[in-house]
Amino acid sequence: MSELVTGDAVVLDLRPARLPSRALAAAIDLAVVSCVFVLVSVVVGIASVTLDEAAVAAIGVGLFLLVLIGGPIAVETLSHGRSLGKLACGLRVVRDDGGPIRFRHALVRGAMGAVEILMTFGVVAAIASLVSARGRRLGDVFAGTLVIRERVSAKRSVAVPPPPPWLVGRFSQLDLSAVPDELWLAIRQYLTRMHQLDPGVGRSMAARLADELVTRTGIAPPQGIPAAAFLAAVVHERQARDARRVFAGAPGASSAAAPVPAGRQVESAGGAAGGAAGGTAGSVGTAGSAAGAAGSVGFAAPAGPVAPAGSGGAGASAGAAGPGAEEQKGAGGSSAGFAPPG
């Protein structure tokens, strides 16, 4: 089974599609697009019998660009990487970090596909896919995308842990456009594997990722926020934006993409001896709400007032990697929720 490995030797649970399945999906897509192109050409040819040869040639070029190139681009954009052939073969086009593609990704893939698939009868695409370790053709390399297999018999992937309730929604105004996909990938993989790392290595990795994220966004996190909690909160904000973009206009989309209220705290089946923590994003309830809970949220709120999310300054790096609040532990057991390494 093929797997991706990041630079930090962390396994990424995405299964790249190989040449046979991609070739079958491309053949289905080409068959459908060719049928549509022939039907449209016949209709346009009948309607343009009175035109001269130059106009007919111009119309033919326009149909080629519109149907054979623009059609796949539009389908991949609207379906978020699942054309008819990929749907039949259980494939999907995603970004390098596993997120949904956008119009610019589909545009680059479609433009390169016209050269390496249509004009060379797929020879260039087949060679590039065979040479690439992840089965990518040139369009995927230039667009920063990857075709993955969705229907695989594999272990359930580990989800990114949610941020502490008192951080949910605090970064809704943060500009994330300058953050590259490689950094998102490293952050997501750290969050899903942070409890498997050595405590010292985990803390240093979280601090380094948080510093780089602060450098890309230009805004430091609130003072006293642990680096791992800051990373989780920003990733949660990006996932919420992607969900709103994907499910825009769908029934119930607003409620699905809405952030969890900051005063809510999830407790395990064992129950907590104290009451549930309440309040808004700027304040948290008493620490006794997690006493004795085996699965309560792993971060307590900072002791003092939390600075606004937009506050910057010379202490940006220190704020991103600061020690923050202590992990809540119950009597006779440790917290099983979101907690910093070590």
- What confidence tens digit (pLDDT) does each residue in 193-210 have? 888 888 888 888 888 998
* CB contact at 8 A, 170 and 207: no
pLDDT, position 75: 93
pLDDT value at residue 320? 36
pLDDT at position 248: 73
Q: What's the pLDDT score for residue 236?
A: 86
**Taking the CB of residue 71, how many other CB atoms lie within 10 A of it?**
19
The reported pLDDT for the residue numbered 255 is 46
Q: What is the pLDDT of residue 339?
A: 47
The Cα–Cα gap between 146 and 134 comes to: 8
288: nearest Cα among 312, 319, 267, 309? 267
First to last CA, the chain: 32
Residue percentage of the chain with pLDDT more than 90: 20
- For 242-260, write each residue's pLDDT tens digit: 888 878 755 554 444 444 4
Q: How far apart are CA 225 and CA 168, in angstroms?
A: 13
pLDDT at residue 4, as a whole number: 47
- pLDDT tens per residue across span 271-281: 333 333 333 33
Q: Which pLDDT belongs to residue 156?
A: 53
What is the model's pLDDT at position 289? 34
For the record, the structure tokens of 146 come out as: 């990857």
Residue with tokens 């006794």: 288
Window from 29-33, 169-173, 224-228, 337-341 with minimum mean pLDDT: 337-341
Q: Which DSSP string corresponds to 25-88?
A: HHHHHHHHHHHHHHHHHHHHHHHTTTS-HHHHHHHHHHHIIIIIIHHHHHHHHHHTS--HHHHH
Looking at residue 172, what is its pLDDT? 81
Average predicted confidence (pLDDT) for the chain: 72
Assess whether pLDDT exceeds 90 at residue 104.
Answer: yes
Would you say residue 211 has pLDDT above 80? yes
Side-chain half-sphere CA neighbours of 44 within 13 A: 17
pLDDT of res. 124: 92
Percent of the chain's residues with pLDDT above 70: 66
Residue type, 193: R
What's the pLDDT at 294? 31
Helix, coil or strand: residue 266? coil
**pLDDT value at 213 more than 80:** yes
Question: Is the pLDDT assigned to residue 39 strictly greater than 50?
Answer: yes
